[in-house]
């Protein structure tokens, strides 16, 4: 009997593995109610948020693409301006070189002209000094000659006309003798 009682008691005790039907129905109704609330209120909000984020992302992508296109356009303009600036700098450099060459040539010409002027002026001064020295030497030589001749002859050659004539004749003879001696020296 004990066995039958145990079997009967076991039949009366609910099996924990098998759920009760009222709990299943109540759980199913609660699930349907939760599903309805989710579908009615939560899912539209999720969809709206999802749609909003999608638009923001797509708008951000479009803005990024536009910004990238503008950046590429600006880069192309920058490269063009840089190439133009380099070409202009090369032109300016070439112009400066040409101008420097012209200035250098002008300065050389001016320096050469100044050098020739200085040389010509120096030669003119030398000629003037030579003429002055020759005149002084002639006068000195004349005085010395007259004095020497006065001593030799014993008479005074104080008369200016006579003295000048004698000095001029003597100097002319010296020049003639010097020219003949130079010609003879050059012939040897």
Entry pTM: 0.38
Domain borders along the chain are 21-159
Q: Flag whether pLDDT at 7 surpasses 80.
A: no
Residue 66: CA atoms inside 13 Å, Cβ hemisphere, count? 6
Instruction: Please name which of 183, 156, 182, 157 lies closest in space to residue 170, comparing C-alpha atoms.
Output: 157
Tell me the residue length of the chain: 188
Which helix (H) or strand (E) segment holds residue 2: the answer is: helix 2-12
pLDDT digits over 116-175, tens only? 999 999 999 999 988 888 888 877 877 777 777 777 766 555 565 566 676 777 777 877
């Amino acid at each position: 009997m004990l066995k039958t009682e145990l079997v009967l008691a076991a039949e009366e005790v609910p099996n924990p593995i098998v759920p009760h039907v009222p709990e299943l129905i109540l759980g199913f109704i609660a699930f349907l109610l939760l599903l309805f609330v989710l579908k009615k209120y939560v899912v539209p909000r999720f969809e709206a948020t999802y749609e909003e984020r999608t638009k923001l992302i797509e708008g951000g992508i479009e803005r990024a693409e536009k910004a990238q296109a503008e950046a590429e356009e600006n880069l192309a303009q920058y490269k063009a301006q840089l190439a133009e600036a380099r070409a202009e700098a090369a032109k300016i450099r070439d112009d400066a070189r040409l101008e420097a060459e012209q200035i250098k040539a002008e300065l050389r010409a001016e320096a050469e002209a100044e050098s020739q002027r200085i040389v010509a002026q120096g030669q003119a001064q030398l000629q003037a000094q030579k003429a002055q020295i020759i005149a002084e030497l002639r006068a000195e030589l004349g005085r010395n000659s007259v004095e020497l001749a006065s001593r030799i002859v014993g008479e005074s050659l104080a008369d200016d006309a006579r003295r000048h004539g004698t000095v001029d004749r003597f100097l002319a003879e010296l020049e003639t003798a010097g020219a003949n001696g130079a010609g003879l020296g050059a012939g040897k």
